[in-house]
Chains A and B, each alone.
Chain A
Amino acid sequence: MPDFPVNKAPSTPAKPGAAGLDAHSGADPFIMQLDGRGQIFVANGLKDGPLPAHYEPLASVIQNQLYKQQNNPTLREWDRSDNPYNGQVNPRYPYVLTTYRITELSGVYTRYIPWLAELQPEAFCEIDPELAVEKGLKNGDYATISTAVGEIEVRALVSGRMRPLRIAKGQRVHQIGLPYIFGNFGYTSGDTSGDVIPLAMDPNVSIHEAKTLTCDIRAGRRAPRGRVAQDDAVPEPERSRDGQPLIHGREAGV
């Protein structure tokens, strides 16, 4: 990112020993770099550098059109029974799912404010009219979104703002938008998108891969889940092989 005072000419020499921008010559304005030079690739520091490349997300609807390598080989994955992945180009999950925030609610705490909750009172997904017809969904109906991890029910918001993507030799792919700020607590209601997103991270800054994944969608509500009401007995905690209780599948105290 270049930045320099308006009146600093490119021919201005660097001042040795000076602080800040004065230490850079007029021709070296890139303030994010130590030497002030622009870079076309990252010399060091990245785990998957140095040159940028295109990889498909972990769960994609198409093969990588640029390389034989489908995913980023340095992607951080968790191969565990409670974190199943959809798999690459799995016909069971033919739709692209993307998650985002909405203006009205920005996080858990905003769900507790009635003035914000009334603006977006229930979890919803956005789908295009074509997919709605295909799946028998009307605007405002309950839809169930499923991945290998689980399934959630949300209201369907059918809008021409969503449009099928035309990718890879004319293949038409429907995308489903899923705002991710809904959950169990607060004035708003609805399932959390976290229940359908597996854990996978980028190798450098551990950003969770929740922006592109694949899913299936059907009309109707999901099966009820959780402890059945009459079953009041506290379930026995899962235990590891040496008899220690497991917390969220992770061995306690580790």
Chain B
Amino acid sequence: MANGFFTDTTLCIGCKACEVACKQWNELPSDGLAFTGMSYDNTLRLSGTTWRHVAFVEDREVGTTIVNRWSMMSDVCKHCTHAGCMEACPTGAIIRNEFGDVYIQPDVCNGCGYCVPSCPFGVVDLIEPFKPSAAKAAEYNTATLDRERLSEGALQSHGGIAGKCTLCYDRQRLGFTPACAKACPTESIQFGNVDDLKARARKRVERLRERGVDAQLYGVDETTSVGDLNAFFLLTQPPEHYNLPARPVLPSTHQPAGYAAAALAAAALAVAGLAIFRGR
């Protein structure tokens, strides 16, 4: 039994309310003001301080420059069944909490960053340490200044540790819906028990296919090493279209081959060493 998200991209209108609601509830700072020219997407990716990100993929008609629609997708931490970040964490800061979600304990994390390359989806990122200078503090708004006062409750606001979606652990403990799902005006983001959500998602796929929409679920009944995703998606394009890996690979699956290669190298060196000392 785990709680998770079902993100239905066919209902997403690209309002980015989830992104803002997430930042507001979790007291996450802005990632900077940079015009990217990537359609209406100026935050570009998930980061240590951006835990929801709405991708604006322009679907170009083949052979033309004409764009008839956006494929919008609200990306989030997938809270994998076999989480790469959790396997890599040396301090035990990343745990699976009582709601079945992958959670970084901000007071245990030491910011080593092993989890960052271990995530098959590139979700986890380190948060820059927060060093407010007197000059900077004047630029910040009150919410940012509040971060200093509220630092006991929100350790990630000080930075220097890894950050990603907590699936609003604090809200769940209070019995609330996570901020993004609560803010979503079209119920594109649905929160609940993963099994219930999966049943709902399968029904939705069936109904869409009846209407001739090529819908598929991403992260359900997966045969990859990552397993099923607690935050799964309904897509109408191949996963790569939304910058999702078609077949995510858990980095630890490379370990047997790595150890074997190391053992082989060690054996070869031992033989070579023996040969050298024998020859003396």
B141 touches A157 (CB 8 A): no
Q: Using a Cβ cutoff of 8 Å, how many contacts connect chains A and B?
A: 71
CA A56 to CA B245, docked complex, whole Å: 51
CA A108 to CA B36, docked complex, whole Å: 22
| A104-B16 contact given A140-B35, A157-B37, A163-B66, CB 8 Å threshold | yes
A124's partner among B24, B35, B43 (CB-CB below 8 A) is B35
Whether B14 is near chain A, meaning CB under 8 Å from some CB there, is yes
Whether B23 is near chain A, meaning CB under 8 Å from some CB there, is yes
B residues at A contact (CB < 8 Å): 14-16, 19-20, 23-24, 29-37, 39-40, 42-43, 58, 60-61, 64-67, 140-141, 143-144
A residues at B contact (CB < 8 Å): 102-104, 112-122, 124, 128-130, 139-140, 155, 157-161, 163, 187-189
Which chain A residue has the least Cβ–Cβ distance from B23? A115
Query: CB-CB < 8 A to A139: which residues of B?
Result: 37
CA A188 to CA B261, docked complex, whole Å: 53
Query: CB-CB < 8 A to B14: which residues of A?
Result: 103
Which chain A residue has the least Cβ–Cβ distance from B61? A160
Smallest beta-carbon distance A162→chain B, Å: 9
B32's partner among A104, A118, A158, A189 (CB-CB below 8 A) is A118
Query: CB-CB < 8 A to B60: which residues of A?
Result: 160
The listed residue with most B CB atoms (<10 A of its CB), out of A119, A129, A188, is: A119
Query: CB-CB < 8 A to A103: which residues of B?
Result: 14-16
A115 touches B35 (CB 8 A): no
Query: CB-CB < 8 A to A102: which residues of B?
Result: 40
Smallest beta-carbon distance B60→chain A, Å: 6
Query: CB-CB < 8 A to A158: which residues of B?
Result: 37
B16 touches A160 (CB 8 A): no
CA A128 to CA B67, docked complex, whole Å: 10
B58 touches A160 (CB 8 A): yes
B42's partner among A112, A114, A120 (CB-CB below 8 A) is A120
| A121-B34 contact given A114-B29, A160-B67, CB 8 Å threshold | yes
- Give me 18 A-to-B residue pairs in the complex whose CB atoms sit less than 8 angstroms apart, sorted by A's number: A104-B40, A113-B141, A114-B29, A115-B19, A117-B30, A117-B33, A118-B31, A119-B19, A119-B42, A121-B35, A124-B35, A129-B65, A157-B37, A159-B67, A160-B61, A160-B66, A163-B66, A187-B30
A115's partner among B24, B65, B66 (CB-CB below 8 A) is B24
| A161-B67 contact given A102-B40, A104-B16, A120-B42, CB 8 Å threshold | yes
- 4 nearest A-B pairs in the assembled complex, by CB-CB distance: A140-B37, A160-B67, A121-B33, A114-B30
| A115-B30 contact given A129-B65, A159-B67, A163-B66, CB 8 Å threshold | yes
Which chain A residue has the least Cβ–Cβ distance from B21? A115
Query: CB-CB < 8 A to A118: which residues of B?
Result: 30-33, 42-43
Which chain A residue has the least Cβ–Cβ distance from B69? A161
Query: CB-CB < 8 A to A157: which residues of B?
Result: 37, 39
Query: CB-CB < 8 A to B58: which residues of A?
Result: 159-161
A160's partner among B15, B34, B65 (CB-CB below 8 A) is B65
Which chain B residue has the least Cβ–Cβ distance from A103? B15
Smallest beta-carbon distance A98→chain B, Å: 17
Smallest beta-carbon distance B127→chain A, Å: 15
| A120-B30 contact given A103-B15, A159-B58, A161-B58, CB 8 Å threshold | no
CA A104 to CA B33, docked complex, whole Å: 14
A116 touches B65 (CB 8 A): no
| A112-B36 contact given A103-B14, A103-B15, CB 8 Å threshold | no
